[in-house]
Amino acid sequence: LTEAIALFCLMMAFLILFAF
């Protein structure tokens, strides 16, 4: 569960990074 949350946060961070 923790690994999935970490991976999800990492993907969201990349999406925000590419958005700007």
What is the CB-side half-sphere exposure of residue 16 using CA atoms within 13 A? 6
End-to-end CA distance of the chain: 29
Burial 3-18 (b: 16+ CB within 10 A, else e): eeeeeeeeeeeeeeee
Whole-model pTM? 0.35
Query: Per-residue confidence of the chain (20 residues) as pLDDT tens digits?
Result: 799 999 999 999 999 999 98
Q: One-letter amino acid identity for 9? A: C
| Encoded tokens for 7 | 């991976």
